[in-house]
DNA sequence: TCATTTATGATAGTATTACTATTATATTTG
DNA sequence: CAAATATAATAGTAATACTATCATAAATGA
């Protein structure tokens, strides 16, 4: 993948940043180190001052890229959903059966993410941990309607829409495709967090990824499709 | 209910507060007004200073009840889950069939909450809105393991455990009862938030509460039970 | 009932946060 | 090489998240 798409870069709504961080070395460094730092200290304790110290740059310089740490978080989550859509687009290419496409999409959406190295300055493994633990803080705010109007959640909504469409291909009468998919995406994230920190809220099963299995099974049974597929 | 249980009060882990807010008029005022204020301005903008102004009391006095606004949020969410367990205990009493008990439990867990007035100083309607929008901020933190050790999430875990037990009564071989219930509780909350703010992530259906219907249907189909019940 | 404990109020103070403004110095570009 | 642009350094502000101190009010109990 690296070799084929070295210059590939993902689109993020340009209103979440003041200056595109992809456009300069400092910008990329800000993104790269913000992922490390948020992963390390958590979003609450993360500040632009600390980030500036970490990258031997200046707080004021960071503010020229992002209006606030919330906008930076929105940037990271938007990037993540855009990346996820690209993963799914490639992962589902040339699979004709909608059942198989749905199964694959759910796997891609709910699996544990590993470092994949396609993007120099983005650690997908840590970004996934941030999305799991912090992304709800990017929309569970009083500014959600304003942010939504500006299109900050477009990537996420589009992704949910695409997967819902596969469900409707399989069962055109299913009434709750968006609910099902958004519930399972958020649910899988919560389950990964719980598995680490509040295991009594989950059910670990040896030798399989219970979260993926659970998600697939729930989906296919909910929409009344055959499970397992074959 | 008011008449029968006027003096009934719910248990909250005594380590989330410094001084029990139930023990004084000021304490109850703090809880009552914090619900109004968090609902109004959101948890980020909520401060003890503003709360002090609102209740014509002193910031320092509030700190004598709660160590921080995070602990106050933990108090509110713990109270909520304790209340929810009490609602479920009463709501399920004398229903012998586990299928009916499960259906009722899911309804109680996922329905829209209205003001019920059983507790003088707690507005259940607003508290539900707070739990929906803010409760993940009480456990999605770097302190989660510490807080968990101190038992701050015991009420929630117990509730999930109880409903999971009903599932196991119906289908003792179902592998993911805790995942299913915790996913649906969180999921229903997310869906209520999305329905208000990000409707493209949900599926509104006229004339029914789609969130309750969706949750029940997913549950019964996932565990392989007959749906609808009769 | 009066002394003592306990709760609350008023005020002040500190370190940190989340910025903005200004000016100087690099770096890039035309 | 001049001009534009990006970054760095420094300083400053209002608000936050507390802590400390002391005065006063209310409750309690001997």
Is A44's CB within 8 Å of B141's CB? Answer: yes
Largest CA distance in chain B: 58
pLDDT of the residue at A213 = 97
Asked whether residue B2 carries a pLDDT value surpassing 50, the answer given is no
Q: How far, in Å, CA of A201 to CA of B160, rounded?
A: 7
C-alpha span between A226 and B94 (Å, rounded): 37
Q: Domain count for chain A, please give it.
A: 1
Cβ-based contacts of B153 with chain A (< 8 Å): 198
DSSP letter string, A140-189: SSTTHHHHHHTTTTHHHHHHHHHHHHHHHHH-TT-S-HHHHHHHHHHHHH
At a CB cut-off of 8 Å and minimum separation 6, what does B96 contact?
A: none
In the complex, which nucleotide's C1' lies nearest to the CA atom of residue B66? Answer: D18
pLDDT digits (tens, 9 = 90+) for A42-63: 999 999 999 999 999 999 999 9
In a domain, B152, yes or no: yes
Angstroms from A145 CA to nearest CA on chain B:
6
User: Once rounded to an integer, what is the mean pLDDT over residues B207-225?
Assistant: 95
What DSSP designation does A199 have?
G
Query: For residue A43, is it within any domain?
Result: no
pLDDT, tens digit, for every residue of A65-87?
A: 999 999 999 999 999 999 999 99
Query: Half-sphere exposure of residue A214, counting CA atoms within 13 Å on the CB side?
Result: 29
Whole-number pLDDT of residue A103: 98
Q: B222: nearest CA in chain A? A: A218
Question: Which tokens hold the place of B98?
Answer: 């586990």
A35 within 8 A of A126, measured Cβ to Cβ: yes
**Does a structural domain hold residue B106?**
yes
Q: How much of chain B, in percent, has pLDDT values that exceed 70?
A: 97
Mean pLDDT of A191-201: 96
The reported pLDDT for the residue numbered B208 is: 82
Please report which confidence band the pLDDT of residue B8 belongs to, taking 50, 70 and 90 as the band edges: low
Q: Protein A15 CA to nucleic acid D5 C1', in Å?
A: 21
Closest nucleotide to B29's CA, by C1' atom? C8
Query: Which range among A20-29, B5-14, B108-117 shows the weakest confidence by mean pLDDT?
Result: B5-14
* B122 domain residue, yes or no: yes
Q: How far is CA B50 from the centre of its chain?
A: 25
Average pLDDT of span B187-195: 97
pLDDT digits (tens, 9 = 90+) for B123-141: 999 999 999 999 999 999 9
Å between A18 CA and nearest CA of chain B:
23
* pLDDT of residue B4 exceeding 80: no
A148 vs chain B: nearest CA distance in angstroms?
7
d(CA B198, CA A41): 29
Are residues B203 and A161, on separate chains, in Cβ contact within 8 Å? no
Q: Is residue A15 part of a domain?
A: no
Q: How far is the CA of A52 from the C1' of D6 (A)?
A: 16
* B198 vs A148, A175, A202: nearest CB: A148
Q: Would you state the pLDDT for residue A7?
A: 47
Looking at residue B6, its pLDDT comes to 45
Answer whether A191 sits within 8 Å of B205, measured CB to CB: no
CA of A193: which chain B residue's CA is closest? B140
Mean pLDDT across B54-58? 95
The predicted structure's pLDDT at residue A11:
87
% residues pLDDT > 70 (chain A): 97
Rounded distance between C-alpha atoms, residue A205 and residue A211, angstroms: 9
In a domain, A191, yes or no: yes
A10 pLDDT band, cuts 50/70/90, is confident
Which tokens belong to A224?
């009344």
Q: How far is the CA of A119 from the C1' of C28 (A)?
A: 26
CB nearest to B160's CB, from A44, A157, A201: A201
Q: pLDDT value at position A9?
A: 73
Cis peptide before B228 (omega within 30 of 0): yes
In a domain, A18, yes or no: no
> Which residue among A156, A179, A210 places its CB closest to the CB of B202?
A179
**Per-residue confidence (pLDDT) for residue A2, from 0 to 100:** 39
Rounded to an integer, the average pLDDT of B10-35 is 95
CA-to-CA distance for A151 and A161, rounded, in angstroms? Answer: 15
**CA of A39, closest CA in chain B: separation in Å?**
10
pLDDT at B157 over 90: yes
**Nearest Cβ partner for B203 among A141, A177, A197:** A177
- Closest CA in chain B for residue A179: B202
Residue A148: give the domain boundaries: 75-222
The nucleotides of chain C lying under 7 Å from a protein CB are 7-12, 16-22
Instruction: Measuring from the CA of residue B65 to each C1' atom, give the nucleotide at the shortest distance.
Output: C7
pLDDT above 80: residue B147: yes
Any domain includes A102: yes
Q: Which residues in chain B touch residue A186, judged by CB atoms under 8 angstroms apart?
A: 186-187, 190
Range with the poorest average pLDDT among A64-68, A144-148, B126-130, B204-208 = B204-208
């Amino acid at each position: 993948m690296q070799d084929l798409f070295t210059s590939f870069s993902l689109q993020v709504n340009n209103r979440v940043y003041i200056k595109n961080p992809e456009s300069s070395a400092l910008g990329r460094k800000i993104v790269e180190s913000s992922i490390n730092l948020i992963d390390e200290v958590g979003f609450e304790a993360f500040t632009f001052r600390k980030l500036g110290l970490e990258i031997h740059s200046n707080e004021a310089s960071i503010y020229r890229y992002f209006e606030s740490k919330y906008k930076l978080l929105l940037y990271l989550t938007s990037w993540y959903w855009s990346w996820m859509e690209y993963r799914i687009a490639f992962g589902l290419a040339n699979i004709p059966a909608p059942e198989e496409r749905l199964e694959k999409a759910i796997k891609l959406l709910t699996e544990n993410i590993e470092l994949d190295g396609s993007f120099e300055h983005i650690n997908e493994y840590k970004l996934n941990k941030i999305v799991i633990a912090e992304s709800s803080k990017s929309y569970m705010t009083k500014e959600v309607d304003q942010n939504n109007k500006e299109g900050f959640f477009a990537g996420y909504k589009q992704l949910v829409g695409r997967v819902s469409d596969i469900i409707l291909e399989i069962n055109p009468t299913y009434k709750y495709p968006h609910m099902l998919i958004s519930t399972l995406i958020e649910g899988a994230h919560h389950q990964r967090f719980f598995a680490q920190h509040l295991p009594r809220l989950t059910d670990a099963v040896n030798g399989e990824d219970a979260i993926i299995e659970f998600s697939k099974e729930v989906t296919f049974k909910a929409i009344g499709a055959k499970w397992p597929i074959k």
